[in-house]
Chains A and B, each alone.
Chain A
Amino acid sequence: MNDAVAQTSQCANPDCRIAETGKCVEGYPKEDCAHFGHAPRTPEDAGAQSNQPVTVQSTAIRLPGADHLNVQGAERILRAADGRVVAIIGPADAGKTTLIASLYDMFQRGPVSDCGFSGSATLHAFERACHDARTTSNRNEPFTERTGVGGVAFYHLGLAGTSPRHRLALILADRAGEEYRSAADDVTVSATFMEIQRADAVTILVDGGRLLDRGARHNVRSETEMIIQALVDGDTVLHRPRVAVVLTKLDAVNRSEHHARAIADFNAIVESVRRLHGSTFKAVEAFTIAASPKSTELPRGYGLAQLMAFWVGSHETRVVEASSSIDTPARAFARFGDHQP
């Protein structure tokens, strides 16, 4: 876009989105608006022009953010409601953030595994994670930004059964794969993994894409086993969480001529976890998922409903109630109720 074109759509009013919507926020025709066609004004601009210090006065009330939660934020939610903490671990690019984003996106269309959506304290974080798989990103292929190194971040999903009394806070922990990998080099690192120590369910991702790679497949098994060993040796799983071992990118695995070999490799990893650490965990279950398939051969979020049911565990979110004459909207977001956890 050249400067002349940019000038024709910009507006000095920071609230005006005429460049996006084509409409003046104040409702004026373009030619009558004093702000249209001028560069956006900032407080710094105003100060530079007047040579006077700028004092920005705002009477607006600051609202709670909607980005990731830190440890304290997650704890606050868990203290106020029945909750499940899920630690999702695996090497870089295994699909941790994609899994989280796709699970959230499934609620755009309706309940998942008999659970409805009842709000979230991290809507911006979810939306950001989903963005590059949506058409609004202008991408031709779905993409997920890698999680940066720098500690754990939490996503919050409020789940509801058919009764307002049955609510559950699902806290999903996301941390860079490099950090989990480093625990295998220095087991003391795992002591800093607060999310594992608090996890009701630990979810270990096995990268299906790498299992298809002849050069990488043996490393996949080794890395997975070493990460689990580091968690065990670092005493982070003394509380015996339940474990899901998850094969990701099933769409790529299914399309590959090495499909059978990859599945056999995955089964061997699951058996290895059961054999070596079966007594350390309450349960070890295997799942296969395609969180964000690159084609329509598998539905988006394939396998996530079963995985979420495992996370939720025995929690009773569904009760039988007297029938209501009011039709329940199909979209979970449309049935949004009390978001308070």
Chain B
Amino acid sequence: MSETVGLQHRPIMICGLPGSGKTTFLAALWALVTARDELTTLRFVSLRNGDATHLNAIAARWLSARVQERTPIGSDRLVSMNLEDASRRPVRLTFPDVSGEAYRRMWEDRDCDPAVAEFTASGSVLLFIHTDTIQAPNWVVDFAEISRQIGLPQESTQEVQWHPGLAPTQVQLVGLLQLLHSQRGVMAIYDEIMLGHHLEHVIKNALSYATPETNVEIRLRESPGQAIVEVFNFGPLIADTREIFALGVSDRPSPEHMGLGLYAARIHILEMGGNIHAENREGGVAFVITLSTPAQGSGE
């Protein structure tokens, strides 16, 4: 058990289009760290707390200079390595060995394998690009000019209908990274019960003021050191966006609206180290809740 004291668990997403070398990298990495010949920054510790069958199999294939088999679709394999750093602190690296088709489907079919989604919050991504298979954008006019210059006759061929898989490699990878970014979870420091209660209050408030047949939009985004939740509704603007958080202020005073909700929300969110404010925007109002995010590596 002493190995797990101060254990740093580092999930790392390995992604790339089919045949980009993800499994080969894992095989080489495992062969390198287990050989213990090279002085690596992270060093192999033990085989405990894990199943090394897959890593051993792919490393054996790599050591015998054989091409890796394609990762089967839907295998959703997780592999872990127990390592330690120069100060002998244990580090456990976990990688998903997901088939490249899972990433291709993200770009082409707009769906995400749950195994991939689980790793999007990791914040660490290794992106693989196979240099031999990069499909650069090429244009008909340039090709026609080259053909003319070298005297190559232009042949009439069957026109090809558009498909997302025909996009240049750089576009597919940008699309993929955008999706990974948008699916990435945001870590924040908050009191779950209190935040849930106040968020519900803010959303109900937005719904009650929203212009009929419009949607209330809830957006979560991250900026350095902050997680930001925005609740926007189309509807009337607020005359004084600061005063509404004061005790006893309500624009529809009644036994149900005593002006406590937003006041309490602000007090509790401030106690969590966050803040809440309202903004008049084009066509409506946004309530913005800002929460602190944990420092990297703090394990919160």
Q: Counting CB contacts under 8 A, is A255 at the interface?
A: no
B182–A64 CB distance below 8 A: yes
Decide yes or no whether B236 CB sits under 8 A from chain A: no
Q: Which of A42-50, A227-235, A266-274, A292-300 makes up part of the contact surface?
A: A292-300
What mask results when residues 272 to 286 of chain B are scored 1 for a CB within 8 Å of chain A, else 0? 000000000111001
- Mask, B150-167, CB within 8 Å of A = 1, is 000010111110101111
Q: Which chain A residues (13-33) contact chain B, with CB distance < 8 Å?
A: 15, 17, 20, 23-27
Choice from A26, A76, A128 contacting B72 with Cβ under 8 Å: A26
| B112 and A119 contact, CB distance less than 8 A | no
Question: Knowing A15-B73, A80-B219, A123-B167 touch, does A300 contact B141 (C-beta < 8 A)?
Answer: yes
CA–CA, A23 and B70, complex, Å: 10
- CB B68 to nearest CB in A, in angstroms, measures 9
**Contact of B249 with A by CB under 8 A:** no
Q: How many residues of A contact B (CB 8 A)?
A: 56
Contacts A108-B137, A134-B137 given: A79-B168 contact, CB under 8 Å? no
A166 close to chain B: CB less than 8 A: no
Cβ–Cβ contact A138 & B170, under 8 A: no
Cα distance A128–B166 in the bound complex, in angstroms: 10
Q: Are B137 and A105 in contact (CB under 8 A)?
A: yes
B179 nearest in chain A by CB position:
A63
Task: Count chain B CB atoms within 10 A of each CB in A24, A65, A140 and give the residue with the most.
Answer: A140
**Is A333 positioned at the interface, with any CB of B under 8 Å from its CB?**
yes
Nearest-CB residue, chain A, relative to B99: A25
In the complex, how many angstroms separate the beta carbon of B224 from the nearest chain A beta carbon? 10
Does B159 lie within 8 Å of A137, measured CB to CB?
yes
Main secondary structure of the interface of A (DSSP, over half): loop
CA A142 – CA B281 in complex, angstroms?
A: 43
CA distance A119 to B178 in the complex (A): 7
The residue of chain B having its C-beta at the shortest distance from the C-beta of A66 within the complex is: B175
Knowing A123-B167, A333-B174 are in contact, say whether A60-B112 is a contact too (CB < 8 A).
yes
Q: Output the least CB separation between B292 and chain A (Å).
A: 19
Q: B140, B157, B167, B217: which contacts A142 (Cβ < 8 A)? A: B140
Pick from A58, A63, A292, A340 the residue with the most CB of B within 10 Å.
A63
**Residue A214, interface by CB 8 Å:** no
Q: Does B142 contact A (CB under 8 A)?
A: yes
0/1 string, A193-233, CB within 8 A of B gives 1 = 00000000000000000000000000000000000000000
Q: Say yes or no: is A240 at the interface (Cβ < 8 Å to chain B).
A: no
A25 in complex: contacting residue of B101, B173, B178, CB < 8 Å: B101
Q: Verify A340–B221 contact, CB threshold 8 A.
A: yes
B271 within 8 A of A: no
Contact of B157 among A59, A65, A120, A138 (CB under 8 A): A138
How far is B140's CA from A131's CA once the two chains are assembled, in angstroms? Answer: 10
A25 touches B18 (CB 8 A): yes
- Cβ of B232 under 8 Å from chain A: yes
User: In whole Å, how far is B75's beta carbon from the nearest beta carbon of chain A?
Assistant: 10
Contact of A140 with B154 at beta-carbon distance under 8 Å, contacts A15-B101, A135-B143, A334-B170 already known: yes
Q: What 1/0 mask marks residues of chain B from 205 to 217 whose CB sits below 8 Å from any chain A CB?
A: 0000000000101
Per the bound structure, the CA–CA distance linking A62 and B143 in Å amounts to 38
Chain B residues with CB under 8 Å of A25's CB are 18, 70, 73, 101
Which of chain A's residues have a CB closer than 8 A to the CB of B175?
A: 66, 123
Q: Is A135 in contact with B140, judged by CB distance below 8 angstroms? A: yes
Partner of A131, one of B101, B162, B174: B162
CB distance from A128 to the nearest CB of B (A): 5
* Chain A residues within an 8 Å CB radius of B221: 80, 340
- Rounded to whole angstroms, the CA-CA distance of A66 and B105 in the bound complex is 13
Q: Which residues of A contact B240 (CB under 8 A)?
A: none
Select one of A61, A76, A133, A339 contacting B139, CB under 8 A.
A133
* Residues of chain B lying within 8 A (CB to CB) of residue A26: 70, 72-73
Task: Determine if B217 and A60 form an interchain contact, defined as CB atoms under 8 angstroms apart.
Answer: no
* Contact call B140/A124, Cβ cutoff below 8 A: no
Given contacts A61-B114, A63-B110, A124-B164, contact A79 B281 (CB under 8 A): yes
| In the A-B complex, the 3 residue pairs with the closest CB atoms | A27-B70, A60-B111, A131-B162
14 chain-A/chain-B pairs, Cβ below 8 angstroms:
A24-B70, A60-B111, A64-B110, A66-B175, A76-B217, A78-B282, A79-B281, A127-B162, A137-B162, A296-B145, A331-B170, A333-B170, A333-B174, A339-B181
Question: Which residues of B are interface residues toward A (Cβ below 8 A)?
Answer: 18-19, 69-70, 72-73, 101, 105-106, 110-114, 117, 137-145, 154, 156-160, 162, 164-168, 170-171, 173-175, 177-179, 181-183, 215, 217, 219, 221, 232, 281-283, 286
A23-B70, A108-B170, A141-B140 known, 14 other contacts, Cβ within 8 Å: A25-B70, A58-B111, A61-B114, A61-B183, A62-B111, A72-B215, A79-B281, A127-B162, A127-B166, A137-B159, A296-B142, A339-B182, A340-B181, A340-B182
